[in-house]
């Protein structure tokens, strides 16, 4: 199970590639060489990079939905649409597809984040704007996490 952490400043070159952060590569381990799937985030103007194993887990769940139901069909299309395979080249650079970079407003400076089981890729300015939003973090944590028991030792 992946538990990716860290926030890294990276630069995108003229061809749309960025150097994958070494610390994240180490956390991903052997899965790094299998490749990735990159896609739009459903909630924010950023991208999500899945290891192939994580993508397959998501896709397995989606494949159980009845696509004859309009809401299911729409959800699958929104999640699968735009998904693109990606691999690191021999120097560790990963190509961000132009259409996805345009969606996320990615220019040359990006933030690459370990985000539990995925990697998020943000335009640096967009990420800083998102993080500077005024929210009541205490209230949000209570709403989202209030009923969870963090002392459980379930795996």
Q: What is the pLDDT along the chain (155 residues), one digit of tens a residue?
A: 789 999 999 999 999 999 999 999 999 999 999 999 999 999 999 999 999 999 999 999 999 999 999 999 999 999 998 999 999 999 999 999 999 999 999 999 999 999 999 999 999 999 999 999 988 888 888 888 887 777 766 55
| Nearest alpha-carbon partner for 88 in 107, 58, 112 | 112
pTM: 0.90
| Nearest alpha-carbon partner for 86 in 58, 52, 41 | 52
Q: Which domains does the chain have, with CATH numbers?
A: 7-145 (3.40.1550.20)
Whole-number Å distance between alpha carbons of 150 and 126: 32
């Amino acid at each position: 199970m992946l538990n990716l952490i860290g926030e890294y400043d990276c630069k995108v070159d003229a061809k749309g590639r960025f150097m994958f952060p070494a610390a994240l590569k180490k956390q991903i381990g052997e899965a790094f060489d299998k490749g990735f799937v990159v896609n739009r985030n459903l909630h924010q103007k950023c991208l999500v990079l899945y290891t192939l194993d994580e993508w397959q887990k998501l896709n397995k769940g989606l494949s159980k939905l009845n696509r004859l139901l309009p809401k299911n069909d729409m959800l699958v299309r929104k999640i699968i649409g735009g998904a693109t395979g990606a691999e690191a080249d021999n120097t560790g650079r990963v190509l961000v597809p132009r259409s996805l970079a345009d969606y996320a407003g990615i220019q040359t400076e990006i933030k690459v984040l370990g985000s539990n089981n995925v990697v998020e890729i943000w335009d640096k300015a967009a990420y800083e704007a998102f993080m500077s939003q005024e929210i009541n973090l205490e209230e949000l944590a209570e709403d989202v996490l209030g009923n969870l028991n963090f002392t459980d030792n379930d795996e």
